[in-house]
Amino acid sequence: MRSEVFLKKSLYLLSFIVVLLTTIICFYSVDIVYADSNIYSGVLDDLKEDSTFSTRDYPLISDDYSLEVIQIAESVDKELLVYVYQPSGGKGNLTGSSINISETEDLSFKNYKLSLLNSNGVFYKYVVNDFIVSDYSIRYYYISSIFRYFDASIDKQASGGNSISEVSFSVSKQYRFLSEADNYYCDVIEFETISITDKFVGYVRYSDGFKLFSSGACDSHFVAFDTDKPIDSLLEADVYYVQQLYSNNLFSNVEEKYAYLKYTDKVVHTGSGWGAGVHKWDRIESVEQFLSENEIKQKIYTGALLNVSVGTGLSSESEAHLKSNKWVLRFAETSYTSANASGWETKSGTIVGDVTILRLKFEYDGNVYNLGVVDNKQTGSIDPIIDDGKVKVSLTDKGKRLLGILLFILAVVVLLCLCPSLFVYLLNVVLWIVLLPFRLVGLLVKAIKNGPKRNSGEQ
C-alpha cells in the first residue's frame, strides 16, 4: 500500500515538474521571438549617452513650432536614426515628415520620408524610411533640411492658388561616421545652404493644334523663386516633385520624381495637330525671359454673327507673383488630352505637386557656389496660368437677334406639330389680321357709296 502511495506521489511530482519546465520553455521562447523584433530604445536614453548632452539646453517653448536636428545615429540593423528637438513639445501634435540627405560631397540630395519611433517632451526620435547604411568604412551624410507637415493653424499658406504641404527647416550639417576595426566615431561640421524666400508653382498649356473629335496639349511645369543669397547666373538645379496621372475620376498611384537641370538644356515642343505652333524654352530661365516667351494674348476673330477668341493670356495676379521672383525652373512636361465621343467627354492628364528645390549651383561676383537648398514643398493651381489653345465663342448683337427669331419660329413649329387643330385656328387668325386692312378699305368705300346724296334741284 505504501509503495503504491509513494508511486502516485512520484508521478504527481514528475507531472508537476514537466508542466513547470514546459511553461518555462514557452516563456523563454516567447521572449526570444520578442527580442528578435524591432525594439527601439527611448530617445532620451540615447541622447544621455553623450556626456555633453543636457536637457537644460533644450527648453520647452510652446509657440516655437520649428524642428532642430540634434544628432543622427546608425543602428545595428543599418538604419539611420534622427534625433530632433521640437520646442513646442506635444502641442499641436507636430511630427517630422521628411528629410533631405546627400551621401556625397557633390550634394546629390534625396528626399526621404520619416517615421516617428518615440518621443519624450521636446525630444523626438525618427527612423529614415528606405535608407540603408552603406558598408563603407567612412560614411558621409550631408543634411540640408528637415520637414514637418503643414498646419493651417500656425503656418502661413501660400498665395496665388498655391498650397504648401510640408514646411522645411535648415539643418546645414555634414556628419561623418568612421568605423575601422575597433575605432568607431562620428563628427559633425556645418556647411553652407541657401534658402528660398519667395516661390510660385504653376504650368503653361501649349496646344497640339486641331484634331478631329479630340484635342491635345503639352503642360510645361515650372517653379519661379527667389533666394536669400544673390545670384548672377544660375548654372544647375535639382528639383523634387510628385506626379499623379488621371483620366476623369480615375487616378494612378503617386510617383516621386527628380529633375536635374542645367542652363544649357533646351526644350522644343511642336504639336501634331493642324495649326499648332512651335514653342521653345530653356530649362533654367530668368523671370523676364519666361514672361517674354509666354506673352500669349487672346486672338479675337469678329464676324457678322460670331466672335471667336483663341488662347488665354497671363492674369494680372499670376504676373504679379512671377515678377516678385527672379528665376524660373521649367522642370517637367506632361501631356493633356480631351476627347469627345457621343457626347461623353474624357480628360486625361497629370497632376504635379509637392515641388521643392534640392540644390542650386550658381555664380556670384566671379565665384561659383554649389549649395543645398532649404525650401518648402509646394503645389500650384489645377488650372494653367496660360492656355494658348483654349477657344471661346460668343454671339454678336446681330447674332443674338437672329438666334431669337430662329428660336421663336422653332417654338411655333413644335407647338403646331403637337397640336394640329391649333394650326387651323392660328391660320384663320393670321388671315383675318392680314385681310383686316382690305376689309376696312372695303367698308370705307361702301360707306361712301351709300352715303347721303345731294338733290340736283336744290339751290
Distance CA 22, CA 77 (A): 32
pLDDT tier at 30, thresholds 50, 70, 90: very low
Please give the model's pTM, rounded to 2 decimal places: 0.77
Q: What DSSP letter does each residue of 312-324 carry, written as one string?
A: E---HHHHHHHHT
**Helices of type H across 232-378:** 287-293, 316-323
Task: Give the count of beta carbons closer than 10 Å to the beta carbon of residue 75.
Answer: 13
pLDDT tier at 29, thresholds 50, 70, 90: very low
* Exposure string for 323-339, b = 16+ CB within 10 A, e = fewer: ebbbbbbbbbebebeee
Neighbouring C-alpha atoms within 13 Å toward the C-beta of 351: 18
Across residues 181-205, what is the average pLDDT?
Answer: 94
Distance CA 176, CA 197 (A): 30
pLDDT in tens, 266-288: 999 987 776 677 899 999 999 99
CA 365 centroid distance within chain? 35
pLDDT in tens, 98-135: 999 999 999 999 999 999 999 999 999 999 999 999 99
In the predicted structure, residue 12 carries a pLDDT above the cut 90: no
* 132, 180 contact by CB (below 8 A): no
* 54, 85 contact by CB (below 8 A): no
pLDDT tier at 180, thresholds 50, 70, 90: confident
pLDDT tier at 47, thresholds 50, 70, 90: very high
- Give residues with Cβ within 8 angstroms of 240, minimum separation 6: 109, 111, 256, 257, 258, 354, 355, 356, 357, 358
In the predicted structure, residue 22 carries a pLDDT above the cut 80: no
- Give residues with Cβ within 8 angstroms of 389, minimum separation 6: 205, 206, 207, 208, 209, 215, 217, 310, 311
* 128, 175 contact by CB (below 8 A): no
| Lowest-confidence pick of 37-51, 249-263, 330-344, 438-452 | 438-452
Across residues 369-391, what is the average pLDDT?
Answer: 90
* 199, 223 contact by CB (below 8 A): yes
Greatest pairwise CA separation for the chain in angstroms:
183
Which pLDDT does position 183 carry in this prediction?
81
